[in-house]
A and B are shown apart, each in its own frame.
Chain A
C-alpha cells in the first residue's frame, strides 16, 4: 500500500502526484525556503518562482506520463535548484556552527519508530551502532531497553525527514 499525495504547484494547472516521502521532502524544502526568506519583502513571489521551477523540472522528468513521483526524483530536482540563499549569511552552513540539539523520532529510514535514529543524530553516533547496542543490551538485560524504547516512542516529538529535523533546529535556534 502506498499513500499518494496530490500537490498543486504555482503556475501549473495540472496537479502532481507524489509519494508520501516525496511530498515530505518537498514540503520541508519549501518550509525552509519560507523561513530563510522571511525578511524578503517579496518572499511570496520568490516562493512562487521556486514552486513554478520545481514544477517545470518535475514535469520534465515525468515526460507527460501520468505516474506517481518518487522521493528520489523530488530530491534530484531540489538539489538542482539548491537551498535558498538570500546572501545575508543565514544559510544552513552558518547556522550549524553552534546548533542546539533536540531529541526526536526521525521517520526517514526508520526500522520501527525511528527512536534509534533520533538517538543517533542526537548523540552523533552512527545509527547502526545505536541499534546494535540496543539489541545487545536487550539480550543481556532481559528487555529493559524495549521499555525505554516504548517510553521514548510516546514521549518524543516526530519529524519526518533529516531535512525537517535540521530545519526545526534552525527555527528553534532562531527563536532563542
Chain B
C-alpha cells in the first residue's frame, strides 16, 4: 500500500482521522500519535502540529491548556462545532463510498 496513489489518499484522510480521535474527548498530541502508531496513518509531530493549527483556524478543533506533572502545560484538543459537523458528514460519505465501491465490482442485477 505504499504506492504514490495510496499515499496521496492517506494524506487527505488524515485530517478526518484526527477529527475521529479528537471526538473521543480531550486529547494531547502524543495520544493522537499513539492511537495512529500501529496503523497506516502513523504520523509525526512535524506533520501534526501544522495540521492541527490549520484545523483550528478552520474551527474544526479547539484546544485548552492543561498543567502537566512532568513539564510545561500541554495543549489538549477537543472538537469544535464545525468539526463535529464535518466528522458526521465524513462518516456518512465514507459509508456511501464503501457501498458504492462494493456495488461497482458486482455484476449488474438486470441482465
Contacts and interface: CB of A to CB of B under 8 A. Distances in A.
A107 B36 CA distance: 38
Given A12-B71, A49-B49, A87-B11, A82 B54 contact: no
Contact of B45 (A37, A42, A50, A86): A50
Nearest to B11: A87
A13 B71 CA distance: 9
Contacts of A13: 72
Interface of B: 11, 29, 43-47, 49-51, 53-54, 56-57, 70-73, 75
Given A12-B72, A53-B29, A56-B71, A42 B53 contact: yes
Interface residues on A, range: 20 to 34
Contact of A84 (B11, B46, B57): B46
A59 B47 contact: no
Contacts of B72: 11-13, 52, 55-56
A54 B73 CA distance: 14
Interface string A27-55: 00000010001001110011001101101
Nearest to A60: B70
Contacts of B46: 33, 50, 81-85
A20 B45 CA distance: 25
B47 A82 contact: yes
A46 B53 contact: yes
A72 B84 CA distance: 42
A41 B50 CA distance: 10
Contacts of B70: 56, 59
Contacts of A45: 53
Contacts of A65: none
Nearest to A11: B72
Given A42-B57, A53-B29, A80-B44, A85 B50 contact: yes
Contacts of B54: 40, 87
A84 B50 contact: yes
Given A41-B57, A87-B11, A46 B50 contact: yes
A92 B67 CA distance: 35
Given A11-B72, A41-B57, A55-B72, A82 B49 contact: no
Nearest to A78: B46
A83 B47 CA distance: 7
B44 A59 contact: no
A11 B73 contact: yes
Contacts of B47: 82, 84-85, 87
Given A37-B50, A41-B57, A46-B49, A81 B71 contact: no
A86 B44 contact: no
